[in-house]
């Protein structure tokens, strides 16, 4: 272990598990004994103290080219205490647009010093078997690249005494967040009311009514499609023409990008 970083914090928001996989792989590459995870998918951040000699890895998914607001809400009123951090976004093979810049700027406001950044690819929330979009990602190659990124982060910390301002791709003002349409995944007749989709929803948009029907609040749903991916019977669907658009235009494999 190097003489600068004594502990590592992993903080991630991961409704479908892709950001979690990347966060843990980066943690493996950092090779530290004192590593703490804070999964903010369903609850607020539990790491309250950030020592100056710690490194925090923030990993967030990309929704429509931006960071989901739930990520920042669940970070809470944290103060980085000038500790170093790494910012990472996971997107569905289209593009991350302004999300990485947004994440970098937001952690700066919270008192952290971003020293590295990366983008990784995860299976798109709207991917379907007949129209796959980055299906199965992050795959073995992505996980290996995430571990390699962690090793490069430590190398930078050990070799660069005074890192300058970190550049990442993106534009400000950020890409406009368009009003969400009143749509959400729905249950089909194949639904057996097992209820697995209810705790899988990070915004608690799904519930069971008095007649054991699965109901989805379209206003609360963020279209992460965690419920679709966890359903054992394939009884949750989100039928959107955007899946065909993604499949026809963004099926070519994209690779991770590193910023130092």
Query: pLDDT tens across 75-113, in order?
Result: 999 999 999 999 999 999 999 999 999 999 999 999 999
**Residue 36: which of 69, 3, 6 has the closest Cα?**
6
Q: pLDDT category, 178, cuts 50, 70, 90?
A: confident
pLDDT at residue number 85: 97
Q: Does 161 score more than 90 pLDDT?
A: no
Q: Does 48 score more than 50 pLDDT?
A: yes
pLDDT digits over 104-130, tens only? 999 999 999 999 999 999 999 999 999
In the CATH scheme, what is the homologous superfamily, with its name and number, of domain 7-173+254-259? Flavodoxin domain (3.40.50.360)
Chain centroid, CA 93 distance in Å:
13
pLDDT at residue number 171: 97
Whether omega for the bond prior to residue 138 falls within 30 degrees of 0, making it cis, is: yes
pLDDT at residue number 2: 45
Cβ pair 157, 260 in contact under 8 A: no
- Domain spans, the chain: 7-173+254-259, 186-239
Tell me how far apart the alpha carbons of residues 88 and 72 are, in angstroms, rounded to a whole number. Answer: 14
In the predicted model, what is the mean pLDDT of the chain?
95
pLDDT digits over 219-252, tens only? 999 999 999 999 999 999 998 999 999 999 999 9
pLDDT at residue number 4: 83
pLDDT at residue number 181: 86
Whether omega for the bond prior to residue 83 falls within 30 degrees of 0, making it cis, is: no
The Cβ of residue 148 has, within 10 Å, a number of other Cβ atoms equal to 15
What residues contact residue 91 under an 8 Å CB cut-off, 6+ apart?
61, 62, 99, 119, 120, 121, 122
What residues contact residue 157 under an 8 Å CB cut-off, 6+ apart?
2, 4, 5, 55, 84, 115
pLDDT at residue number 83: 95
Cβ pair 42, 205 in contact under 8 A: no
**Residue 51: which of 115, 117, 2, 112 has the closest Cα?**
112
Q: pLDDT category, 1, cuts 50, 70, 90?
A: very low
Chain centroid, CA 113 distance in Å:
20
pLDDT at residue number 151: 98
Cβ pair 17, 59 in contact under 8 A: no
pTM (2 d.p.): 0.95
CATH T-level assignment (fold) for domain 186-239: Alpha-Beta Plaits (3.30.70)
Sign of the alpha-carbon dihedral angle for 160, 165, 171, 175: positive
Highest mean pLDDT among 51-55, 150-154, 186-190, 211-215: 150-154
Length of the chain counted residue by residue? 260
Please, how many CA atoms are within 13 Å of residue 163, restricted to the half-sphere of its CB? 21
Residue with the two structure tokens 């992993």: 10
């Amino acid at each position: 272990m190097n003489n600068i970083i004594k502990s590592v914090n992993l903080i991630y928001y991961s409704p479908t598990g892709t950001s979690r996989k990347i966060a843990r792989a980066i943690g493996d590459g950092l090779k530290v004994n004192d590593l703490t995870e804070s999964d903010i998918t369903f609850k607020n951040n539990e790491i309250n103290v950030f020592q100056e000699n710690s490194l925090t890895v923030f990993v967030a998914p990309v929704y429509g080219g931006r960071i989901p607001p739930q990520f920042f809400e669940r970070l809470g009123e944290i103060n980085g205490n000038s500790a170093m951090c790494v910012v990472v976004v996971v997107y569905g093979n289209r593009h991350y647009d302004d999300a990485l810049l947004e994440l970098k700027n937001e952690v700066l406001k919270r008192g952290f010093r971003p020293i590295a950044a990366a983008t990784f690819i995860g299976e798109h929330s709207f991917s379907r078997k007949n129209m796959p979009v980055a299906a199965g990602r992050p795959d073995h190659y992505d996980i290996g690249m995430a571990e390699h990124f962690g090793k490069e982060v430590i190398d930078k910390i050990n070799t660069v005494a005074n890192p300058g301002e970190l550049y990442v791709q993106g534009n400000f003002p950020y890409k406009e967040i368009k009003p969400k349409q009143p749509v959400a995944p729905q249950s089909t007749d194949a639904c057996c009311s097992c209820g697995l989709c209810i705790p899988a929803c990070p915004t608690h948009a799904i519930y069971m009514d008095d007649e054991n029907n699965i109901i989805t609040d379209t206003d609360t749903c963020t279209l992460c499609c965690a419920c679709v991916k966890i359903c054992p019977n394939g009884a949750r669907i989100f039928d959107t023409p955007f899946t065909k658009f993604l499949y026809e235009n963004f099926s070519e494999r994209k690779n991770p990008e590193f910023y130092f």
